[in-house]
Amino acid sequence: MRGLRAHYHLLPDQDEEQPTECTEPDSEEQPGWEGAPVTPPAPEEPCRLVLSTPSSILQEREIEELGPHLPTRLQQQPWSLLYCTARDGFSLRTLYRCTGQLSSPALLLIRDTEAQVFRWTGRNSFFLKGDTDLLMVGGGSGKFGLWVDGDLHHGGSCPCETFNNESLSARGEFCIQDLEVWGLA
């Protein structure tokens, strides 16, 4: 898009010229008066996500880093904690019961006993499968990108085709310390 350039004439008591008409510039220059400094746009306000209760997994810095990766409509809505092991215990059945009526996107957070927090690469879509004994996220070639067992004490991660990622944990299998599910709308 091309900007407009102002043309102006001197008035008897002025040292500078004032605009009187506008025309399109002849070249792709910055819009504005010739010779006048162009004010850069104001820096974008950082995304401020609102959580209904503090997360036992995400720190403030991580919440701020996560925000810009979410669709705009999810950045503006408060997040509600639907399930967490600290409050609801370690049970996949309870997790299903707490999230069963969910009609909005959800975010699953897991920290293992070695303080690893899993990060989604963002390069592909999620695929989810579960029953009362196992919850699996991502898959391909007989391996799961992430799995957790029915008592939510053990889990594992392998590279998978769904995410095209490395293992999400330093070791293949791990013990779960905290797990949270957040409703994002």
Model confidence, pTM: 0.64
Q: Is the pLDDT of residue 163 over 90?
A: no
Going through 121-172 in order, the beta strands assigned E by DSSP cover 128-130, 134-140, 143-149, 154-156
DSSP helix/strand/coil, 61? helix
Q: How many CB atoms lie within 10 A of CB 133?
A: 10
Mean pLDDT of the 124-149 span: 82
pLDDT in tens, 17-69: 444 444 444 545 545 545 655 565 555 555 567 888 889 998 888 888 888 87
Residue 11's pLDDT is: 43
Q: Which of residues 168 and 6 earns the better pLDDT score?
A: 168
> Are 126 and 141 a contacting pair, CB within 8 Å?
no
Residues 6+ apart with CB under 8 A from 37: none
Residue 117 pLDDT class (50, 70, 90 cuts): low
DSSP helix/strand/coil, 151? coil
Residues 6+ apart with CB under 8 A from 165: 120, 121, 123, 145, 159
Distances (CA, A) of 58 to 36, 79, 136: 46, 13, 22
DSSP helix/strand/coil, 137? strand
pLDDT in tens, 92-109: 999 999 999 888 888 888
> Are 33 and 61 a contacting pair, CB within 8 Å?
no
